[in-house]
A and B are shown apart, each in its own frame.
Chain A
């Protein structure tokens, strides 16, 4: 770790004005701190978002679940409101990493980081969520750009995420045996605007499986997608899994997610 300055503002505006070119927001620190420790990343200043009360919390109304950027995974996993509105979302949060990670990691940090194997991006894309920042609102379809890349600008701060409540949704994850991130995870949702199938872990960035969406739109059942294969050519391959295996996992996890949907 290289030395850096540290600031802990108590408001969103303060935080945004504190951030300079070589500075970084600090949320749960579960990704940022290890990379700093390993000297893989460097910051002149860390602006800790932990003191900003308005970034924390969950609210639910008839049509939407809203989660503040600094809300920890454990809070989403344990929220009775989320469990009854979108059970798949609390299920997903409860399967992120381990207890220590869930006690620190936040939804804002997770989506801003956009790790290709992270779970939340699948929920955001699968549910057609909206990311709110200090500047604007961005649809999930536009937010996740590429490997560790989002639509966020340098000084842009995620403030909250709103999830439309679907008719039903399910998530199935095949964890990487070592890291327990998603080797492949599939989020399916039957929403007012149609069926959405989002795949994480299998490619460089979360993506929608449109063949499955079409098949599930006419029949929301695991059987409807049993014959649908995903082309392996664009998928990731590494020491943990080949592209072909990930393609297979997309089919298996999608079917499980549909079966689990509620």
Chain B
């Protein structure tokens, strides 16, 4: 029996009606009775000691309710922000995590650092008052560049982190790699910069704090990807309130890309201040603040070397990276350039030994943390730019070189030298499909045609892999994570047969309300219109870990399936009782329960009704039809695929025109192909942004952010992008019940490497991202 709008159907997204008609419930649209407005006075300096702060004139300004500084929070016993993943350095020492107060106490360490929180009757009044605050700064020389920050003699940003070092980490067998290099026939080398990015979700961060003096309850409405984790951290580490007295609600959230995973200073200050003044307080970031304070992404400097034998077989891979953490260690920052990066350096290849070392350090810049892909785009960029370079050095076609070194489809489970166990895939299939889609063999003719028109054509490949569905709690715990990474769900039938699904994951654009409803429709025969998906409120949903790392479906969806299994099990007992059969004889098919070998059957709706009106009911069974489940994954999932980009460059201006794009992704089973394709499009757009357009730039002398608005920070727009050819291969994931792998980050992981390889192929030489017209023009004209 097939089911309408079930698994595999390209159902239009249920939530879009409210989003595109302006009826979403975004935070800044919310207002509470008696609400005051908060505004942060921020540091104009990249690095300065604070000698004194004089609030007197500001406190007397019209409309001011109160003004707080970091010292007030410390005096109140509020702890600093934390990093939830402990990394151990080569020498066995724990990483340096210097204090990170929500507002500066004695120094500011990046432009935009919080100095004071001004609360007034209106936002204008709060801003006006902030201009009357007198801060006496002792300005220090800043350092923004990671290589310079880690070099001897650099300005010392935190006393607790000598030499600005956060950690010096390694993974893999150094001796084996050294030996392989010593005996290699060929060695290829590459130097790469992975440019710093600003996440730019459409909705800026916001917080609304509310205090109920009677009950002592605090409620924080906030733009979070993981409200329970935010509550846990604010409760356990900052001491804002016990978890039972703190409710965190993340309503409709307009995009995150990772940047809303983290617990930020503004949100914690806002909820704390609401209790201080016993009034609701709202803070909404403007776009300038978003550029200054949303955790940035990437910012790596890497040297890599590949050892090969005479036949072009890879022998060993060696990678050394410096990672910029920014001024403070953000919530999961430490994990990004280590366990989300080094562990993916085997790519899709059989590489006998790998060694990676990563030095992470502090600079006077905005903190850096997970951003769409988080570590995995950086890994793919290193691996795939390396493969292209190696193939070029050997005079081999880059796709042939890859095919020669791929892990083969019969090799699973495959253990890499960097502690991952790949579970499934078919890498040659995806690559050959992508080559067909883009007519790879016709490239030479197209290149000749471009040349005749005075243009330079290039083609580039990226065969990426990522680890998604994060993650088995025991595994991440052994690697330093402070949390488990399971997910929760409750499937609750209403007496009349409609269903409410509570999920611990959080949708901020991904389409959970549709995809999760499709699972229920498929498994239980309930029309998707009768399924409501509830998420993002700690007072409604069971404790959950939230959404990031393409985990919602693989982990959150699996929890839903587990709850559904319990519903089915219970329903069988009820059906058996009502149809006077034994439980063993009850068969279930998409919400229809029948007695084997008879035409007796009952629907899920009838059974749910019987469970709530248990007049005729099994004696030993609880009434009601609601089940919850927690699912801890058995392994990461490993989406992988091949993207091929083709470009045409105008040598007179250096403009890169993307003329074609083929993306073949293995996401395992697909619930909603339309949503998946949308995720690929969006991911590739962001990856194209990184490769061609985006890049956070600081003035190295002053530490000022030079790309603080859309006039200077270039986001990709529709006319920067080609039409995409998109296809999937579907090797089901063996480790979760849905057989799904995750698709949210793939595009952003594959695209930068594919596009840069195409540009490098056209130019015949390396350049760094973003490949701006001027850089490309200089490469062509040798200046």
Q: Which residues of B contact A249 (CB under 8 A)?
A: 653
**B contact residues vs A (CB 8 Å cutoff):** 124, 127-128, 288, 652-653, 692-693, 697, 706-707, 710-715, 720, 772-774, 777-778, 783
Contact of A252 among B652, B706, B707, B720 (CB under 8 A): B652
Chain B residue numbers with a CB within 8 Å of A181 are 711
Q: A17 to B464, alpha carbons, bound, how many Å?
A: 67
Which residue of B288, B653, B712, B783 is within 8 Å of A178 (Cβ)? B712
Which positions in A face B, CB cutoff 8 Å? 1-3, 38-39, 174, 177-179, 181, 239-242, 244-245, 248-249, 252
Task: Using known A-B contacts A239-B697, A239-B712, A244-B783, determine if residue A177 contacts B653 with beta carbons closer than 8 Å.
Answer: no
Q: Are B713 and A177 in touch, CB under 8 angstroms?
A: no
**Contact indicator A245/B777 (Cβ below 8 Å):** yes
Q: Which residues of A contact B713 (CB under 8 A)?
A: 178
Apart from the given pairs A177-B714, A245-B778, A248-B653, 20 other A-B contacts in the complex at a CB distance below 8 Å = A1-B124, A2-B124, A38-B288, A174-B653, A174-B773, A177-B693, A177-B720, A177-B772, A178-B710, A178-B713, A178-B715, A181-B711, A239-B697, A239-B707, A239-B712, A242-B774, A244-B783, A248-B652, A249-B653, A252-B653
Q: List 9 A-B residue pairs with CB atoms under 8 Å apart, sorted by A's residue number.
A: A1-B124, A2-B128, A38-B288, A240-B712, A240-B772, A241-B774, A245-B773, A245-B777, A252-B652
Tell me the complex Cα distance, A233–B124, Å. Answer: 44
Q: Which residue of A lies closest to B720 (CB)?
A: A177
How long is the Cα–Cα vector from A172 to B570 in the complex, in angstroms? 72
Please name all residues of chain A whose beta carbon is closer than 8 Å to the beta carbon of B710 when the two chains form the complex.
178-179
Q: Within the assembled complex, what's the spacing in Å between the Cα atoms of A39 and B123?
A: 13
Inter-chain contacts of A38 with B (CB < 8 A) = 288
Task: Give chain A residues whose Cβ lies under 8 Å from the Cβ of B288.
Answer: 38
Q: Are B706 and A239 in contact (CB under 8 A)?
A: yes
A139 to B288 CA separation, bound complex (whole angstroms):
39
Complex: how many Å from CA A28 to CA B224? 37
Nearest B residue to A178, CB-CB: B714
Residues of chain A contacted by B692 (CB below 8 angstroms): 177
C-alpha gap A38/B773 in the complex (Å)? 30
Q: How far is the CB of A245 from chain B (nearest CB, A)?
A: 4
Q: Is the CB of B711 within 8 A of A178?
A: yes
A-chain residues with CB within 8 Å of residue B714 when the two chains form the complex: 177-178
In the complex, A3 Cα to B693 Cα: how many Å?
37
Chain A minimum-CB-distance residue to B287: A38
Residues of chain B with a CB closer than 8 A to A39's CB: 127
Chain A residues whose CB sits within 8 angstroms of the CB of B712 once the complex forms: 178-179, 239-240
Instruction: Report Cα–Cα, A76/B713, bound state, in Å.
Output: 29
Q: 10 smallest A-B Cβ distances: which pairs?
A: A178-B714, A179-B711, A245-B774, A177-B714, A252-B652, A239-B706, A239-B697, A241-B774, A178-B712, A177-B693
Cα–Cα, bound, A197→B385 (Å)? 44
Chain A, residue nearest B783 (CB):
A244
Nearest-CB residue, chain B, relative to A253: B653
Q: How far is the CA of A63 from the CA of B780 in the complex (A)?
A: 45
How far is it, in angstroms, between the C-alpha of A39 and the C-alpha of B126 when the chains are bound?
Answer: 14
* Cβ distance A250 to chain B, nearest Cβ, rounded Å: 12
Bound Cα distance from A178 to B715, whole angstroms: 7
Bound-state CA distance A181–B714 (Å) is 12
CA distance A244 to B781 in the complex (A): 12
| A178-B710, A239-B707, A249-B653 known; A3-B777 Cβ under 8 A | no
Q: A244: which B residues are within 8 A, CB to CB?
A: 783
* Assembly CA distance A3 to B715 (angstroms): 32
A262 to chain B: closest CB distance in Å? 22
Q: Which residues of B contact A2 (CB under 8 A)?
A: 124, 128
Residues from chain B with Cβ under 8 Å of A179 in the complex: 710-712
Which of B697, B712, B720, B774 has most chain A Cβ within 10 Å? B774
Residues on the B chain within 8 Å of A241, using CB: 774
Residues on B with C-beta less than 8 A from A240 are 712, 772, 774
B124 near A248 with CB under 8 A, answer no
- In the complex, A39→B712 CA distance in Å? 18
Measured CA separation A174–B124 after assembly (Å): 39
- The minimal Cβ–Cβ distance linking A97 to chain B, given in whole angstroms, is 11
B720 neighbours in A (Cβ, 8 Å) = 177
A148 vs chain B, min Cβ distance (A): 15
Task: Name the residue on B nearest A117 (C-beta).
Answer: B711
Complex CA–CA separation, A163 to B551 (angstroms): 61
What residues of B have a CB within 8 angstroms of the CB of A3 in the complex?
124
In the assembly, what is the distance between CA of A249 and CA of B706, in Å?
23
Q: For the complex, what is the distance from the CA of A234 to the CA of B111, rounded to whole Å?
A: 32
Distance of B694 from chain A, by nearest CB (Å): 9
Residue of B nearest to A242 (CB): B774
Shortest C-beta distance, A241 to chain B (Å), equals 5
- Which B-chain residue is minimally distant from A246 (CB atoms)? B774
Residue of A nearest to B128 (CB): A2
Give B561 Cβ to nearest chain A Cβ, in Å: 45
Which residue in chain B gives the minimum CB-CB distance to A251?
Answer: B652
How far, in whole Å, are A245 and B774 apart by their CA atoms in the complex?
A: 6
> How many angstroms from the CA of A242 to the CA of B653 in the assembled complex?
13
Q: Which residue of B lies closest to A1 (CB)?
A: B124
Cα-based distance from A2 to B130 in the complex (angstroms): 13
> Which residues does chain A contribute within 8 Å of B706, judged by CB atoms?
239
Residues of the A chain whose Cβ atoms lie less than 8 Å from the Cβ of B124: 1-3
A248 touches B777 (CB 8 A): yes
Q: How far is the CA of A178 from the CA of B692 in the complex (A)?
A: 11
Contacts of A239 in B (CB 8 A): 697, 706-707, 712
Q: Which residues of A are found within 8 Å of B127, using beta-carbon distances? A: 39
A244 vs B778: C-alpha distance in the bound complex, in angstroms? Answer: 10
CA distance A244 to B782 in the complex (A): 13
- Report how far A125 CA is from B512 CA in the complex, Å: 56
A3 to B127, CA, bound (A): 12
Please give, as numbers and ranges, the residues of chain B lying within 8 Å of A174 by CB-CB distance: 653, 773
